[in-house]
Structure 1
Amino acid sequence: MQTSTDTAVERRVFHLNGLELSVTLAGEGRPLLLLHGFPELAFSWRKVMPKLAAAGYHVIAPDQRGYGRTTGWSADYDGDLAAFRLPNLVRDALGLVAAFGYTHVDAVIGHDFGSSVAAWCALIRPDVFRTVVMMSAPFSGPPSLPFNTANEPAKPATDDPVHRELAALPRPRKHYQWYYSTRPANDDMHRAPQGVHDFLRAYYHHKSADWKDNTPYPLHSWSAGELAKLPTYYVMDLAKDMAATVAEEMPSREAIAANTWLPDRELAYYSAEYQRTGFQGGLQWYRCGTSGAFTAELQTWSGRSIDQPSAFISGKQDWGTYQRPGVFEAMQTKACTKMIGCHLVDGAGHWVQQEQPDEVSRLLLQFLARAAQ
């Protein structure tokens, strides 16, 4: 991972938990673990890693299971999803910490789906993950166990009616996470008519602060009428795939040439990797969630909260903060009991550490200093 924004960055491969885990490193000192989201890579931390390293940290950023140069995972749609469930992703992170000879890290920092992994790391092993920063995807806590059912059995789980309601709207819609769980989703993006590079350009643009219609606000409920207010990268037109959805928002050549947070030479790193691997590895994570197959396991931690110092950082222009109604508020009032920072960074959409790396680095270092007091 070498670009003009990098200093003292190297890549190493570790054999753990069935993987050959590709890890990007910077600096020396107290350890930090950085976990990327979808569709990203360790490369998404390229602008903050040197700043954290310069402040005296050993920064560790893997290509997570299903992504990039990490191997040992299967992209078979019909394969076993269990390897991609959240506790096993926590096991990957735990093994990486141990591989370096650390008993703990000062912070686990996750973005997008990596934010969920970071939150579960903190919840399951607070002794190892001493603090946590969640970025762009708030955490509402573990799912609840059926309660007070001794005399009245719990009602069986049913399909969420919101998907039928979305499809029945005058403008029929579908939720992107359930689309990502379908068999065609990988081919739709990997074999996008515009090519992987232009697909990713439009996707990153559509979810960034550069797309001027990203003006998020809280939604009132998990209902079709409310969810339909989300941009099409979250609640898609029913008949369109993701490649067609974002193609409608492809920036102009002039806008691409003027882009400083993701110039074409850096986008080319992502597009080359995803052209090589496809997207299915990351899509397996979504399938674990939408299938409901692993909810019972996650209920093992029902009622637990994140009690070590925590923080949340997102872009002010990021709909991800509000895409699940009530979660942003539940994170601050219930799921995290010692949240010492909650920041919405102006001038950033979903890719906050890429769009506004200086401010994100400042907030991370401020959090680490406060948590150490």
Structure 2
Amino acid sequence: MPKFKASAVSNAARAAMLAQLPPGIRSRQINNGNGLNVHILEAGFEQPGRECVLLLHGFPELAFSWRKVMVPLAEAGYHVVAPDQRGYGLTEGGDARYDGDLSQYGFLNLVRDALGVVFALGYDSVAAVVGHDMGSPVAGTCALTRPDVFRSVALMSAPYPGTPEYRFDGQSSAQAIAKVHADLAALTPPRLHYQRYFCQPDANAHMLECEQGLSDFLRAYFHMKSADWAGNNPAPLSSASAADLATMPTYYILEQGKTIAESVGAAMPSREQVAACGWLSDAELAVYTGIFADTGLQGGLQYYRALGSAQGQAEMLLFDGRQITVPSCFLSGAKDWGTYQSPGALEAMQSRVCTDMRFCELIDGAGHWLEQEQPQQVVDRLLAFLAGQSADSSAKN
């Protein structure tokens, strides 16, 4: 058996997480065969023979983020599994150092992580892989590269625009991205894209050691990207120009020179607003605070660094032109700017990348954290999506 590094998560933080899980969800570790001792939450595990649904979280989230949808999905007859992804939470074995092995966070290796979880659980395929935020492109890549295993895909909050394309016009995709960042820096006042900010070596420390403290930073971050913040009124952008991108809130396009903690701190909810927040209690927030205080956030930031790296772009060129042919759907919050932050991605996903898109829906009353803000709405739509595939199988038989 491989030896994994000891978990950085304290017993107190682990206990706080377990105390906030709904009855019917268990926590355990499994070896995924790809260098990780993966922490998973699962529901519906009591009855063998169920189809599996795999849930992949984003940033700054954990498997814990799926707690509100897992039991209802299990009650509908599925084995529901949510891992702490590489570099996150109680999962052991990944290199989460800024100067560590960034290639571990390339999308193809993240697909290997997911495959390893599926196979370790004794499955040869899953009914669906569901990805939220940065988990969405991971889930999309799973369905793109291994449709035999990931028989359908639900993408949430981040449209999947497909893989990088070969360019023969003298300008690489990396050069095009660099121009956008340069144009943002040339605005008055200068601006900085959040993904470029997350790639900086001090971004982790800015969040962990911010003046307001990690708990208040996370509270403000979750609040500002939710439907609770009055400033979220998303709409399609006319173009991907710096001027158009800069119309988005400052948690996406920062004022250059400000940290993310300073940017969201201005939207810190009042005590009354926190008390009225029905989707993230102080005890639930403490789970994130306790775990990220122990592990840091660099593991999650590595995804952004790998996504924009030349190596990450190059390895995905292997799949240039390949489409997602399994059934797919897209869900996002009606108050989520993530739907539109990459102009053209939503349209490309529906018209070119996904050949069997069943529906694309924006959920009222939800911002970016829709599986937490409106869990029943998410459950209803995922079950309808899965039922449609069951009906297809019955018709074929």
Q: Distance in 2 between matches of 1:265 and 1:98?
A: 34
Question: Which of 79, 82, 94 is the aligned partner of 1:58?
Answer: 79
1:108 aligns with 129
Superposition pairs for residues 63-212 of structure 1, below 5 Å?
63-146=84-167, 154-155=170-171, 158=175, 160-212=178-230
Q: Distance in 1 between matches of 2:40 and 2:296?
A: 19
Q: Distance in 2 between matches of 1:315 and 1:131?
A: 21
Question: Which of 346, 355, 363 is the aligned partner of 1:337?
Answer: 355
Shift in alpha-carbon separation, 1:137–1:330, aligned structure 2, 3 A: same
1:7 aligns with 23
Q: Encode CA deviations 1:274-309: one digit per residue, 9 max, x unaligned.
A: 011010000000001222322111010110010110
Confirm or deny that 1:20 pairs with 2:41: no
3-state DSSP of counterpart to 1:72: coil
Contact 2:42–2:81 (CA under 8 A) maintained in structure 1? yes
Q: Distance in 2 between matches of 1:324 and 1:3?
A: 38
Q: Encode CA deviations 1:296-324: one digit per residue, 9 max, x unaligned.
A: 11010110010110000000000000000
Q: Distance in 1 between matches of 2:193 and 2:375?
A: 30
Paired residues in the alignment total 368
3-state DSSP of counterpart to 1:88: helix
Q: Encode CA deviations 1:54-105: one digit per residue, 9 max, x unaligned.
A: 0000001000001000011122211120001110000000000000110000
1:348 aligns with 366
1:150 aligns with none
Q: Distance in 2 between matches of 1:19 and 1:345?
A: 35
Q: Distance in 2 between matches of 1:327 and 1:299?
A: 17
Shift in alpha-carbon separation, 1:234–1:225, aligned structure 2, 3 A: same
Confirm or deny that 1:321 pairs with 2:321: no
3-state DSSP of counterpart to 2:130: strand
CA RMSD of aligned residues (A): 1.3
What percent identity do the matched residue pairs reach? 54
**Bigger helix fraction:** 2
Q: Encode CA deviations 1:141-190: one digit per residue, 9 max, x unaligned.
A: 1111235xxxxx84455362121211121121100000000001000001
Q: Distance in 1 between matches of 2:20 and 2:203?
A: 34
1:288 aligns with 306
2:62 aligns with 41
Task: Structure 2: state its 5+ residue gaps.
Answer: 1-16, 392-397
Q: Distance in 2 between matches of 1:183 and 1:4?
A: 33
Confirm or deny that 1:221 pairs with 2:275: no
Q: Distance in 1 between matches of 2:310 and 2:210?
A: 29
Q: Distance in 1 between matches of 2:196 and 2:73?
A: 36
Contact 2:42–2:80 (CA under 8 A) maintained in structure 1? yes
Q: Distance in 2 between matches of 1:62 and 1:257?
A: 29
Q: Distance in 1 between matches of 2:203 and 2:171?
A: 32
Contact 1:3–1:266 (CA under 8 A) maintained in structure 2? no
1:90 partner letter: V
Q: Encode CA deviations 1:307-363: one digit per residue, 9 max, x unaligned.
A: 110000000000000000010111000110100011100100000000000100000
Shift of 1:4: 5.9
Q: Distance in 2 between matches of 1:80 and 1:359?
A: 39
Task: Structure 1: state its 5+ residue gaps.
Answer: 148-152
1:276 aligns with 294
2:98 partner letter: Y
3-state DSSP of counterpart to 2:100: coil
2:13 aligns with none
Contact 2:95–2:104 (CA under 8 A) maintained in structure 1? no
Confirm or deny that 1:304 pairs with 2:313: no
2:389 aligns with 371
Q: Which moved more, 1:292-301 or 1:51-60?
A: 292-301
